Amino acid sequence: MELKFDSTQEFQIDAVDAVVRLFDGQSKIQADIRFVEGAGFIGAPNRLDLTEIDLLGNLQETQRISGVSISKEILSIVEAIETAGGKKEVKFSNFSVEMETGTGKTYVYIRTALELNKRYGFQRFIIVVPSIAIKEGVLKTFQVTEKHFSDLYDRVPYRFYAYDSSNLTQVRQFCSSSNLEFMIMTLDSFNKSMTEEGKGNVIRRPTDRLQGAVPIHLIQETRPILILDEPQNMESERSISALAALNPLLALRYSATHRTPYNLIYRLTPADAYKQGLVKKIEVASVVREDDLNQVFISLEAVTAKKNTVSAMLIANKLFRSQSVKPTKFSVMRDDNLGEKTNLPEYKSFTVEEINPGSNTILFTNGIEVSVGESHGADKESTFEAQIRYTVEEHFRKQRRLKDLGIKVLSLFFIDRVDNYATSSGIIRRLFLKAFNELKQGNTDWGELDAEEVQAAYFAATRKKEEVILEDSSGKSQKDEEAYDLIMKDKEKLLSFESKVAFIFSHSALREGWDNPNVFQICTLNQSVSEVKKRQEIGRGVRLAVNQEGERIRDSQVNLLTVVANQSYESFVEQYQQEVVEEFGVGVEHPPPPANARKPRPVKLRKEMTLKPEFKELWERIRQKTHYSVKVDTERLIDDCVKLIDSVEIRAPRVTVIKARVDLNKEGAFEALQISSARTLVDLAGRYPLPNLTDMISHILENTSPPVRLSKRTLVEIFLRTKKKHEAMDNPFEFASLAARHIRDRLTDYLVDGIKYERVNEWYEMSLFKEEMTSWEQYVVSCERSIYDGTEFDSDVERRFIEDLERLPQVFMYFKLPPWFTITTPVGTYNPDWAIVWDEGEGLLKDSKKLKLYLVRETKGTTILNDLRPDERRKIICAQRHFGDALGVDYKVITNAKQLP
């Protein structure tokens, strides 16, 4: 299997552009090698020629384009570090990119680095990760995208490798190479001055393998750009000092859940990803105990010590005035009696004798002791058995349905204790073997397989010390090593039917930084309700699935993640939504709640509707395919581009000084407070040889890439007519960058404005309509006038629109145009929303002379096209030409059904 990647996904390109735009005006670094005393030969270090004022201006413009909060200043980290020349204070800016889990964060930052190298010549990048699991995932992404990026970036040579203290030639290569270099480092490999054995950390001590040089001093000379993967795990004082010790030029921070979003420049929220179909839809199968409140149940959630007070947070059954009994959370202290707290006599023998914050336990006078995370009186085996059995059943069902599509289904189990699976008598292992062996009977796909060969597990040896998680894969058996390689390194093999492994078990090692596109079930096995973040749990399986050819599948009927939870559906959703609110605030749109897996809703095609002459007429009008051609008025385009270029300011290169005070903000973080404006010390205009016009035009040509490029002749004409020739001579790179940006935008508009669609001898066939689809009850509006007996909605706006279509008497028939019904445009494919038969005879159609209208409508939040995103606006213009001009079909953008017809 070879995984395929799509280089045209707009949201990923936007994330790349957000970073690249920060450096507008930066001159390109030329590759060379120089000698540094004490370090030897060093390749051209990264450097930043922009002033802080320039960088701030670029940052604010980027934030405006991305639609995120505008920063008033650039947040930086300032630290004193040890260098080859002694102690030195370093300062480096940080910029944050926030992307929902499963949307290609690692792909984006690798592509960003390649783009930065192409445009500005930056050559040295260090990717810092907090764990081995994430490191393996990054290395795997580098491997599987190597051919893709080689094709995308004209086979530019680049190397990637994990830092290895036993192979310091990698450090020499990183520092001296004239090519693009990526080094992946776990934070733990360089954030300590001493090893566990009391020896100096290899990276911080002189070594004969580098002719007596200190490895970290060599790295410092290169001014690497840091890419921080999951930086929320790198915010302790020790971690920040370790990052600063690398003497970085700047840091790019990538995460779905930033704790400190330094200078946020791009955000793709859970709502954005969910709404745009960039991740799987989610459903929850809640496995809960009902009418089982007779036994004494106690779960210890937390032990808290404050000053002279120690308390514990419990969950126990409680009798309310309404005579209902519900599990309830409350706090207790020493000598509290649970009988009084719960109003239930069964708890009278439970008086708190001791709460021990050291061992995280609570002891009652009747001798019963409970630890944090454990419970007393709960029949966990029956709950586990139900969860495991349901997960295996769901796995078998989905694999049977998706096998013909070439999709292998995986299920992921998060377990409460390693011993519950790792030992042969472990409760989870035993229950899985039982469920699998019983359910496989009579199943032709699974009947001949042994339960042991379809499962694999990864449990990292973890310990937490000084806020750093250490993981070690040593001491494993051969089978453990094979499982580790399969889960962490051999993604293609795990995704293929060649491997029999389909069920994966883990405790905590896979909760962050690891995911697999074909995880379709996640089952969390805990004695009490899982306290792990729901977004974190769901994130392991939200990536869109791939088939055996490595192609991403974008069918919403396929991409469905089932979370098998040991809590009610309502409480799971409430917790999930609360996490989103806490992360993004109340004012943003949140994704629809995960669907209840217990209430699927089949949506069936009503064949009698498709036989009606009105449907046949509507379908005959809209099913015609077209191809487009464009006609561009080159002279007018040149004039418009010249006017745009002449209207922008292009400043000459210069040397400036800015005074700033290093201060602490309220959160205790270092930041720079600017106390003077930029002052030019040296004007560099005219100090360098005149630029080569051919090179300048080539730069504009390379960065002007809509579907049709302008010829060099046209670009030369634009240059000859502009009034900015002097500025172009003084600052050719800035001129070329600005010119390319304006020409690209204007040319795209011209392509759309001059587009013409013509019919071709191809049509969409009725056979493409599925006779039955499966959705969820709460996301479907039952329909009488649609060709399906129900219509799925993606938002409240769409739900109200469907309900209005059902109520309006003039609407005789309608249907939501399926995802395969698309129109080709210069800015990508376009899928219109609705096809409608409108009857001026108020839906009766008794009088054949009454006017019948056949409509295609797009629903948006506004009918003002200039208020839409540029590519949305352009696609709508193309749709107007396709339907209106080529097919003669009435097409409009509306906000609600009242604007029909």
- What's the mean pLDDT when you consider all of the chain? 83
Q: Is-contact 131 469, C-beta < 8 A?
A: yes
Q: Could you count the other beta carbons within 10 Å of the beta carbon of residue 521?
A: 25
**The pair of three-digit structure tokens given for residue 152, joined into one six-digit string:** 């995308």
- First and final C-alpha spacing in the chain: 50
| Residue 205 confidence (pLDDT) above 90 | no
- 268: which DSSP letter? E
pLDDT value for 222: 92
Per-residue confidence band for 470, with pLDDT thresholds at 50, 70 and 90: very low
Determine the pLDDT at residue 276: 84
pTM given for the model: 0.64
Q: What six digits make up the tokens of 171?
A: 């450090």
Task: Quote the distance between the C-alpha of residue 232 and its chain's center.
Answer: 15
Q: Percentages helix, strand, coil for the chain, rounded to the nearest 5?
A: 35, 25, 40
Please say whether the beta carbons of 187 and 468 come within 8 A. Answer: yes
Tell me the two tokens of residue 357: 């914050």
Residues 502 and 410 sit within 8 Å (Cβ to Cβ):
yes
Mean pLDDT of 52-76: 94
Q: Which two tokens stand for residue 373?
A: 């995370």
Under 8 Å between Cβ of 6 and 97 = no
Q: Between helices 10-20 and 105-120, what is the axis angle to 10°?
A: 50
Report the pLDDT value the prediction gives residue 796, as an integer from 0 to 100. 82
> With 90 as the cut, is the pLDDT of residue 469 above it?
no
Q: CA–CA separation, 737 vs 120, rounded Å?
A: 11
Confidence of residue 6 (pLDDT cuts 50, 70, 90): very high
Residue 277 has pLDDT above 60, yes or no: yes
Structure tokens at 680: 């030019």
Q: pLDDT tens for residues 679-736?
A: 565 566 766 566 667 767 776 776 566 555 678 888 888 888 989 888 877 777 677 7
What H or E segment, with its residue span, contains residue 672?
strand 670-674
- E strand spans, 588-653: 595-596, 600-604, 624-630
| Measured distance CA(2)–CA(161) in Å, rounded | 21
519-570: per-residue pLDDT in tens?
999 898 875 555 557 777 778 888 999 999 999 999 988 998 888 877 665 5
Cα–Cα distance between 390 and 205 in angstroms, integer? 55
| Alpha carbon 356 to chain centroid, angstroms | 41
Rounded average pLDDT over 383-410:
92
Q: pLDDT exceeding 70 applies to what percent of the chain?
A: 83
Residue 850: predicted pLDDT? 55
Task: Count other C-beta atoms under 10 Å from residue 747's C-beta.
Answer: 23
pLDDT score recorded for residue 152: 94
